[in-house]
Amino acid sequence: MLILASACGSALAQGGGPHELASDEGPFPVTRNIVHLSAKLATSDSQPVRSGVQWRVFEEAEGSEGTHRLVAQSSEATPALTLPNGTFVVHAGFGLAGSMKRITVAGKGVTERLILNAGALRIASLLGDAPIPPARLQVAIYVPEPGNSEAKLVVANAKAGDTIGLPEGPYHVVSTLLDATGTGATSPTNSVVSAELRVQAGKVTDATLRHRAATMTLKLVSGPGGEALANTAFTILTPGGDVIREMIGAFPSLVLAEGQYVAIARHVGKTYQANFDVVSGVDRDVEVRADAEAQQKDLPARPDPQREPPQGSGPE
């Protein structure tokens, strides 16, 4: 097994531009050779990868600590590196995919092409028919196993619209819609959409995940259309009694997946409730009435404990 040394321990020359070369100059001249590198996603591809490739070249011989010294690196897609005579290990990285190859340089130029056996995944997420800003999404990519679709997390925070290089194989993608909080941060909502996808070598797989959700603004009012009462504590539950979110304020708002909900409002020692529906794309106010008819002494019963929480829709 090759143990490759990190850049920080490789005595890299500073200021070497996109491809940097370690200095091994001694008292005698060292023969320098031009090594041209390129990578293809699949053997059948006619053209090399044009961007997103990270190249690193290591000495084949192990150092005293059992590692291989990094002698050159480049972020160009098809670099031309200057190397001395010797045997080296070339590594090409493309996102999470990669390939290695031993090369020998002996007094003349060398041209090498590596096969990544990789493809790419490009994810788009919509709310209804409108694109969702990347800042309002949390996208995770997993490698599934039998009986466990989220067995191995490989990308924790993928960005919608980015082209993500991945080794060929199956993947499980989870898109979670985020909601802004009062502090300016974001928190996950219950609008979660997942998809099972397969990445093929040499191809870009496009996936569109459609969320169905809306923004609800909560109010505790003394009557229909009344002013919102301040210092009210709200709890949002599913019909089965699962807590979705707890909030405090006169009219807090939150994003909810399409479905049915119960709003519990607590104010000055009294408890009130209202049932409401969320329709995707229809933002609206939810009024909880604080009159005598609406007052409740107990939390709502669990009419259907087997009912699953509402989820977003699947991929297209």
* Residue 310 counted as domain residue: no
Mean pLDDT of 126-144: 92
Please tell me whether residues 134 and 65 are part of one structural domain.
no
Please tell me whether residues 47 and 92 are part of one structural domain.
yes
The model carries a pTM of 0.71
* Residue 1 counted as domain residue: no
Mean pLDDT of 55-59: 96
Please tell me whether residues 110 and 126 are part of one structural domain.
no
Please tell me whether residues 12 and 109 are part of one structural domain.
yes
* Residue 79 counted as domain residue: yes
Tell me if 21 sits within 8 A of 70, measured CB to CB: no
Please tell me whether residues 49 and 146 are part of one structural domain.
no
Q: Cα separations (Å) of 85 from 13, 35, 78, 282, 314?
A: 18, 11, 21, 68, 55
User: Residue 75: pLDDT above 80?
Assistant: yes
Q: Can you give the pLDDT at residue 291?
A: 74
User: Residue 126: pLDDT above 90?
Assistant: yes
pLDDT tens digits for range 207-262: 999 999 999 999 999 888 788 999 999 999 999 999 999 999 998 999 999 999 99
CATH code assigned at 16: 2.60.40.10
Q: Cα separations (Å) of 277 from 77, 87, 213?
A: 52, 68, 11
Domain assignment of residue 237, given as a range: 214-296
Instruction: List Cβ neighbours of 221 (8 Å cut-off, separation of 6 or more).
Output: 227, 228, 229, 287, 288, 289, 290
CATH code assigned at 157: 2.60.40.1120
pLDDT tens digits for range 150-201: 999 999 989 888 889 999 999 999 999 999 766 667 889 999 999 999 999 9
User: Residue 12: pLDDT above 60?
Assistant: no
| Helix, strand or coil, per DSSP, at residue 150 | strand
Number of domains in the chain: 3
| Helix, strand or coil, per DSSP, at residue 242 | coil
Name the nearest CA neighbour of 92 among 114, 61, 72, 60. 114
Please tell me whether residues 198 and 127 are part of one structural domain.
yes
